[in-house]
Amino acid sequence: MDKVFLTILNMSLISSFVIAVVLAARLFLRRAPKIYSYVLWAVVLFNLLCPFKFKSVFSLMPFGATPISEDTLVKAPAMYMGAPVAGKLNPPGNAGNNSIPANPPVVTANTSSINDTPGSSAFSKENWLIYINWLWLAGIAGMLFYAAVSLALLKRKLRFATKLGKETYETDLIRSPFVLGIVSPKIYLPVGMAMNDLAYILLHEQTHIKRRDYLIKPLSYLALAIHWFNPLVWLAYFLLGKDMEMSCDEYVLKEMGHGNGNIKEIYSTALLRLATGKRLIGLSPLAFGEGSAKERIMNVLNFRKPSRWVVAIAAVLVIILTVGC
């Protein structure tokens, strides 16, 4: 178990560097289509879930695949608590050492009294790492339990939904549209949606299904559950969701905007109407839909068709960072 946790810890540290790189890249890509930022999160997801790394001369990593060794973990409590190191004595002249005995005791590294102290390697390996391992596993269990319970409650709420089409359902128990399912994803719509909004919202949700976002969402939550102790992974999880939604919005604008000069106003108004209802997103990590309505509306209103040089630079940057990370 120690080796498993050590592997996860190293993966989390490497992924933290990749997340920092992606966060910096998002600043340069703020005028580019959000699909490029969204693609970069796949690199983070790969580093969070795949324990195997590929060596390359083009790597941007400042460290190897195992920056943290098992020896570092074992010695961590002793270094933190400032415990005495086996085989050494406090130098004369320190506080509490006003006199030096004529025959000072000999301290060896293998005495049982030292190995039983809280700062020794034996104590650290047999106690500290065990507690950390169980705490890590408890966090994973709690995250997965929340996902299972919330999904069960959501499915119970949707069991009487009315089928409208091949993959579309309607119910009066929700306020916002979303996609749910992994093997056979379905679109769920609230009852009473305006007909002017329906075409845009359906295209948005169908884009999620077309791009297999319903697989990315649970994978990202699994990565979050495994690395729940890393705050950067939480930040990456929420930003991935935002970039996912905004890239779908931009696809809707591109597909529906031909011959319609007011598409941004119409679509942003539809998002605003949906945002006034009770939000369902967050009830289950496997259900996703509107999310971050304010940022999405601002992105829709400020959206412009990117120039070719912006797209070219964004594509080159994504390729370089994907290879390098």
The string of pLDDT tens digits covering residues 237-253 is 999 999 999 999 999 99
Tokens 């994504």 correspond to what residue?
318
pLDDT tier, 101 (very low <50, low <70, confident <90, very high otherwise): low
Cα of 90 vs its chain's centroid, Å: 46
In this structure, of 107-111, 133-137, 168-172, 305-309, the range with the lowest mean pLDDT score is 107-111
Amino acid, single-letter form, for residue 226: I
Identify the pLDDT of residue 15: 92
Q: Residue 5's closest CA among 58, 54, 66? A: 66
Identify the pLDDT of residue 287: 64
pLDDT tier, 210 (very low <50, low <70, confident <90, very high otherwise): very high
Identify the pLDDT of residue 76: 56
Prediction pTM value: 0.79
183 Rama class: left (phi>0) / alpha (psi -120 to 50) / beta: alpha
Identify the pLDDT of residue 12: 93
User: What are the backbone angles phi and psi of residue 279, rounded to the nearest 5°?
Assistant: -75, 135
Identify the pLDDT of residue 78: 53
In this structure, of 11-20, 115-124, 157-166, the range with the lowest mean pLDDT score is 115-124
Instruction: Decide if pLDDT at 131 tops 80.
Output: yes
In eight-state DSSP terms, residue 127 is I
Instruction: Decide if pLDDT at 236 tops 90.
Output: yes
Please give the Cα distance from 174 to 115 (Å, whole number): 60
Q: Are residues 308 and 169 in contact, defined by beta-carbon separation less than 8 angstroms?
A: no
User: What are the backbone angles phi and psi of residue 225, rounded to the nearest 5°?
Assistant: -65, -40
In this structure, of 11-15, 35-39, 142-146, 304-308, the range with the lowest mean pLDDT score is 304-308
In this structure, of 10-24, 118-132, 176-190, the range with the lowest mean pLDDT score is 118-132
pLDDT in tens, 76-87: 555 554 544 444
The residues facing 189 across adjacent strands are: 170
Cα of 11 vs its chain's centroid, Å: 13
Tokens at 90, concatenated: 């406090």
Give the start-end residues of each E strand in 182-302.
186-190, 287-289
Q: Residue 189's closest CA among 202, 206, 204, 203? A: 202
pLDDT tier, 51 (very low <50, low <70, confident <90, very high otherwise): confident
Q: Are residues 179 and 165 in contact, defined by beta-carbon separation less than 8 angstroms?
A: no
Please give the Cα distance from 201 to 188 (Å, whole number): 11
Identify the pLDDT of residue 71: 61
What's the average model confidence in pLDDT over 121-141? 76
User: How many Å is the maximal CA-CA distance in the chain?
Assistant: 98
The alpha helices in 90-230, defined as continuous H runs, are 112-115, 121-123, 129-157, 195-210, 213-226
User: What are the backbone angles phi and psi of residue 307, rounded to the nearest 5°?
Assistant: -75, 165
pLDDT tier, 36 (very low <50, low <70, confident <90, very high otherwise): very high
Cα of 208 vs its chain's centroid, Å: 18
**Which string of b and e fits 30-39 if b means at least 16 CB within 10 Å?**
eebbbbbbbb
Q: What's the chain's Rg over C-alpha atoms?
A: 27
Identify the pLDDT of residue 88: 44
Instruction: Decide if pLDDT at 125 tops 70.
Output: no
Instruction: Decide if pLDDT at 44 tops 70.
Output: yes
pLDDT tier, 103 (very low <50, low <70, confident <90, very high otherwise): low
DSSP β-ladder status, 178-180 and 162-163? unpaired
Q: Residue 49's closest CA among 22, 15, 18? A: 15
